[in-house]
Amino acid sequence: MAAAVASLYRRVLPSPPAVDFASPEGKRLFAEALAAGTMEGFFPLVSCFQTQSEPAFCGLASLAVVLNALSIDPGRRWKGPWRWFDESMLDCCEPLDKVKAEGITFGKVACLARCSGANVQSFRANRATIDDLRRHLVRCVSSQDCHLIASYHRQAFKQTGTGHFSPIGGYHAGQDMALILDVARFKYPPHWVPLQLLWEAMNMTDDSTGLLRGFMLISRKTAAPSSLYTVSCRDENWKSMAKYCAEDLPNLLKGENLDNVQTLLSRLIESLPAEAEALIKWVVEVRRKEEGGPSLSKEEKERLFLKENVLQQVRDTRLFAIVHDQQNANNPCCNCSSLSEEDSLTRIAAAVCCQGAAMLSGNLVSRHGFCCKETCLNCIQANGDGLKTVISASVVSEGNEQGVDMLLPMSSPSASSCNSNLKNNVIKYPSSADVLTVLLLALHPSTWLGIKDEKLKAELQTLVSTDNLPDDLKREILHLRRQLYYLKACKEKEEFEDDDLPSPK
């Protein structure tokens, strides 16, 4: 007969050194810090606060609280129609089963925050000082647009357990104390601790990585850095692509009988994982269809102009011409239009409009439940800025129909309105050749060092060099390169530092 497992209802908070938030002393510290202006971050955090749902989910719960406190839209549903960050959605950098069994490391929490759309600055204890911690903490708790998550060892506070994550909700300058909003609410209540002790708790080693703990600052992105292309790690395919970029591609480049660019690209295309294009997605402009007819705002026109420039700059590169020709050689298609667009715009229009409907509904995980009932091409005279393209569609999902407008860059004024044969119109949209070209440009320059043929290596390095790219495209490529590095680092090693990231050059 199995012995009964003892149960626990909370722990007694060791005090000192901690001060219970709800005690008279804790209330006094709160009131004084509130009056001093160093409790501003507390209110959005407590409005979204939650208890970790698993004993090892402290990192996930801390991040979910902070992301919701920053009002970052996850872009996908949690339950029902609601878009909301939950621990169960934070699975792109580490499988949830593994986190449940082993917990999560400092680097993976930072990776998850970036993948979820936040800005992240991470500081390990050996790369910062207590004065740095105090300065950053004061900045975060004095505003509502930045929050600090601490990674620390409970031993410093005489608490049971080992490594832990929690957001910091406030700071009392007079007594130099920080308010830990412990996400293990079943164990300990929120509590004030001396900042010196918190710093010492961060200076303890995580046995799973051999690295010190630390703290990270999480904030909203002020603007989307991508104009046309971005990296997506919400789909499972990013893991196979990260492996491909980190392991498979370097091994392929070391192969024999690679003596020209065409042969190399042919092998590269043949070895790409299925649905590799989904890793780099083009940033679409989507809106609900307007009853009064299509019209473009000044902001929409400016974004489309920039997208068109970037798209044209990609296609002006010599690399695109080679990739395009090689891709068609590898996959000849009798349905290609006279414009050599390898993708049927009719198919693209339907898929993109379903993507738009999914975006508007908040269901970005899958658009398979959407059916495009009708597509229609409109060309709009944009107040002297030339013609712009709008693909309008009626999309049906679960019996509900909605009108969607997708705005595209366009290269010709000859397109007619509501033409059912869309592929006969001269439309510019990101195709698979564009995506593959920007992927090759965005790979880190060290990727190509394994090529044995020195002449081929030099030729390819010239093709993928960002030195002579136009400024708009260069910014796009360098941003993609940084995003790809995060994915590669998450796949390749357990932990990495912000300082390890490639410089934007």
Active site residues: 58, 164, 182
Neighbours of 1 (CB within 10 A): 3
List C-alpha distances in Å: 387 to 280, 381, 382. Answer: 27, 5, 6
CA dihedral 150, 153, 158, 159 (to 10 degrees): 80
- Are 149 and 65 in contact by the 8 Å Cβ rule? The answer is no
**Amino acid found at 246:** A
Distant-in-sequence, close-in-space partners of 205: CB < 8 Å, separation ≥ 6: 211, 212, 213
Question: Distance between CA 322 and CA 459 in Å, rounded?
Answer: 13
- 210's torsion region: left (phi>0), alpha (psi -120 to 50) or beta? left
SS3 196: helix
Enter the tokens of residue 268.
């590269």
Q: Where are the alpha helices (DSSP H) in 203-317?
A: 237-243, 249-253, 261-271, 298-315
**Is the separation of the CB atoms in 146 and 139 below 8 Å?**
yes
Contact 29, 18 (CB under 8 A): no
Q: How many CB atoms lie within 10 A of CB 322?
A: 18
DSSP notation for 365-388: S--TT-EEEEEEEEEEE-TTS-EE
Residue 234 is given by DSSP the state: S
Residue 110's alpha-carbon distances to 95, 148, 223, in angstroms, are 15, 12, 20
